[in-house]
Chains A and B, each alone.
Chain A
Amino acid sequence: GAVVSQHPSRVICKSGTSVKIECRSLDFQATTMFWYRQFPKQSLMLMATSNEGSKATYEQGVEKDKFLINHASLTLSTLTVTSAHPEDSSFYICSARDSAATGAGELFFGEGSRLTVL
């Protein structure tokens, strides 16, 4: 099946620094990728929709200057958490849809990236 890779899987950083998380579709092209945030024992919350070659669409309440999204190619989207603070500590998950697929348009999820801000 289709594979979505996230890197890094775990990252620890100091408060005030910026952290970049990569999301790659390994065997398909994705014009659209999604970024989610998941707190412990909670559901996934959609943060933004990443569109190749254009600006990301952010959900209400998500600061676009805080969470920078770049979708530079059909297989790579990046999420940069700028000036990270402890409250940004969370599990960040991306998903991607195969642009060439017909039918259900299944979303494939990455393994997630655990961010801990000290």
Chain B
Amino acid sequence: QQQVKQSPQSLIVQKGGISIINCAYENTAFDYFPWYQQFPGKGPALLIAIRPDVSEKKEGRFTISFNKSAKQFSLHIMDSQPGDSATYFCAPRRGSQGNLIFGKGTKLSVKP
């Protein structure tokens, strides 16, 4: 059973546009919802994360929207830039010592 479903698999956005990536999860025990950014040949890096007690968190051009009842959270990248081109993973977790459960990833390409 796939615990985390991420969509779309790939995304092409024009420079300055909005990139939206979605993540649906099954396990209601998840209590930490991060997004990771990975460039080719590099390890993933935490981009932004949210706890389930808030519905939205914004850091610069990056926003997480969280819908607990729908068991979904999404990443919005405003004013997308070519430097944002990377693969993005949602990776919810249960408890502070729990493992991250990675989605399959979304390859974002921002065209100049």
A residues near B (Cβ < 8 Å) are: 4, 6, 32, 34, 41-46, 49, 91, 93, 95, 97, 103-112, 114
Interface of B is mostly: loop
- A-side binding surface: helix, strand, loop or mixed? strand
Q: Which residues of B from 1 to 44 have beta carbons under 8 Å from A?
A: 32, 36, 41-44
When A and B form their complex, which 5 residue pairs have the shortest distance between CB atoms, in order from nearest? A105-B96, A109-B43, A112-B43, A43-B102, A43-B104
Residues in A neighbouring B41, C-beta threshold 8 A = 91, 112, 114
Which residues of B have CB within 8 Å of A43?
Answer: 89, 102-105
Q: B51-94 toward A: CB 8 Å interface, digit per residue (1/0)?
A: 10000000000000000000000000000000000000100000
Chain B contact residue count (CB 8 A cutoff): 20
B39 to chain A minimum Cβ distance, whole angstroms, is 10
Sampled A-B contacts (16; CB under 8 Å): A4-B43, A43-B89, A43-B105, A44-B44, A44-B102, A49-B99, A104-B32, A104-B96, A105-B97, A106-B49, A107-B46, A108-B46, A109-B36, A109-B43, A109-B45, A110-B43
B-chain residues with CB within 8 Å of residue A34 when the two chains form the complex: 99
State A104–B89 Cα separation when bound (angstroms): 18
